[in-house]
Amino acid sequence: MASRRGNDAHELNSLAVLATHVAGAERFWIHEVIDRQPALRDRDAEFGAVASDSEQLRQRLAATGDETQRVFDGLTLAGLDATRTVRDKIVPVRWAILHVIDHTALHLGHMQITYQLWRGGSAYNSPRWHQRLPAE
């Protein structure tokens, strides 16, 4: 599928675009905003992303997740209660974290629908909540 936006199924964002955008948004909010790392995000480039295979996407998401875990490990209660300024707006750190969760969930839904379209409409059964619990 092409990486453009539109009403035609051939103009939907690809899985590569969605995964790249999710990683980019997470990096922006968690790494750049909360952790005050240098700004590296090129949001427009995310919508032109192409991946040769799913492993590329897994690695990109894993690297982003590893860095996010490092940021979270360093957050104190005071850090969670702090605020940041983003484009002249005061943003609570806790809100920024919730926004990443919300934004990621939205695009995971888009990915699942895209995958269903790619499979000709057949659904993929996601694990139930209790199957996602960590092993005891």
Separation between Cα atoms, residue 85 and residue 63, nearest integer Å: 26
Q: First vs last Cα of the chain: how many Å apart?
A: 41
- The answer to whether position 136 is within a domain reads no
- The answer to whether position 66 is within a domain reads yes
Separation between Cα atoms, residue 20 and residue 41, nearest integer Å: 11
- The answer to whether position 132 is within a domain reads no
Instruction: Look at 1 and 134; give whichever has higher pLDDT.
Output: 134
How many domains does one find in the chain?
1
Alpha carbon of 108 to those of 22, 45, 87, 92: distances in Å?
Answer: 9, 19, 26, 24
Range of the domain at 116: 9-126
Q: Checking DSSP bridges between strand 89-92 and strand 83-86, what pairing results, if any? A: antiparallel
Separation between Cα atoms, residue 27 and residue 93, nearest integer Å: 14
Whether the per-residue pLDDT at 1 is higher than 60: the answer is no
| pLDDT interval class at 12 (50, 70, 90) | low
- The answer to whether position 1 is within a domain reads no
> What average pLDDT does this structure show over 23-43?
94
